[in-house]
Amino acid sequence: MPALPFVPTPLEQFLLHVVAPAVLAGALVEALVLTWTERRRGGYDWGGFGVSLFDYVLRIVVTIAVPFTIAAPLVQWVQAHRLATIVVDGWGPALALFVGLEFCYYWLHRAAHRVRWFWCNHAVHHSPNRLNLMASLRIGAFGKLTGNVVFLLPLVWVGFELRLVVTALTLNLLYQFWLHATWIPKLPPLEGWLNTPSAHRVHHAANVEYLDANYGGVLVVFDRLFGTYIAERDDLPCRYGWVHPIASANPLKVEFAQWFMLLRDLVRVRSWRSLAGTLAGPPGWRAEGGGDTTEELRARASRPGVAAAR
């Protein structure tokens, strides 16, 4: 039986034809304004704007051209063994989907920082050394291929339709667009509960005091529950980018730098332990120790005479 043609839902059409252009327009407006207001501090990072635009277009191309994920067999199995069918036709199911997605997104996002295989793609989002709205669109082109959909499968297993879950994730990521505006100050009534620009500045910071924090999408409730919430400090300005910054504005270098480093380290693997640690360990892990994991960076920074910010 031939596959049925893909027909976008009204919400999907709205996201594609209205929201996507509006997001790009908003990022461009901010870029033009900051070009003027920050002209005495070096101006706006137009090179970074180009890298983000490249990643945005490449991600669309990959999504269309590669209709599979390495997790496809697991996705098919979960869909075939769903416990129920949940129809989102009211506030109750919608709220359950929202909270469930927040929980799953927290662990997806945490794994993207703590498991090197997932970090190789997510690192693209953290590569900008200057945070702005356009940086929110630089999220890595190969997330679909890495199999990160596995973190959404619990929602499918209990009964939500996968396509609806993915649409809900798109809305979650859309909320995060405004969080990348560094000119928005702290919002005291919301801090510690909702994800805010202040909380997200901490998430993007490379200071060792801020690393691996604030993974939530709309909420930071699960960060507070699992001990990963860190508030922005007035005495510690955020330094953005990777722990070891990448200064290149070459979009291909930014997109593939972490993948090439992973391949380099895999070539050097000499044991099963090293293989597992290189792929599934945190970024900076080394079999012989002395690496650049968050824990090791903080241990070194705590020693007298060692700078805290890396």
Rg (CA), the chain: 20
| Percentage of residues of the chain with pLDDT beyond 90 | 85
Q: Do the beta carbons of residue 157 and residue 81 sit within 8 Å? A: yes
35-77 pLDDT tens trace: 998 877 778 999 999 999 999 999 999 988 887 789 999 999 9
Helix ranges (H only) for 115-220 are 116-122, 143-146, 153-158, 162-175, 197-204
Between CA 59 and CA 258 the distance in angstroms is 17
Q: Quick one: 42 exposed, middle or buried, by C-beta within 10 A (0-12, 13-18, 19+)?
A: exposed
155-182 pLDDT tens trace: 999 999 999 999 999 999 999 999 999 9
Instruction: List C-alpha distances in Å: 29 to 26, 182, 275.
Output: 5, 15, 46
At residue 167, the pLDDT reads 95
Between CA 269 and CA 283 the distance in angstroms is 16
Q: Quick one: 149 exposed, middle or buried, by C-beta within 10 A (0-12, 13-18, 19+)?
A: buried
99-117 pLDDT tens trace: 999 999 999 999 999 999 9
Q: What is the DSSP letter of 130?
A: S
Between CA 46 and CA 65 the distance in angstroms is 28
Between CA 178 and CA 33 the distance in angstroms is 15
At residue 1, the pLDDT reads 39
Q: Quick one: 297 exposed, middle or buried, by C-beta within 10 A (0-12, 13-18, 19+)?
A: buried
Q: Do the beta carbons of residue 162 and residue 91 sit within 8 Å? A: no
Mean residue pLDDT across the chain? 93
At residue 306, the pLDDT reads 52
CA angle 149, 226, 214 (to 5 degrees): 70
pTM of the model: 0.93
Q: Quick one: 147 exposed, middle or buried, by C-beta within 10 A (0-12, 13-18, 19+)?
A: middle
251-287 pLDDT tens trace: 999 999 999 999 999 999 999 999 999 999 999 999 9
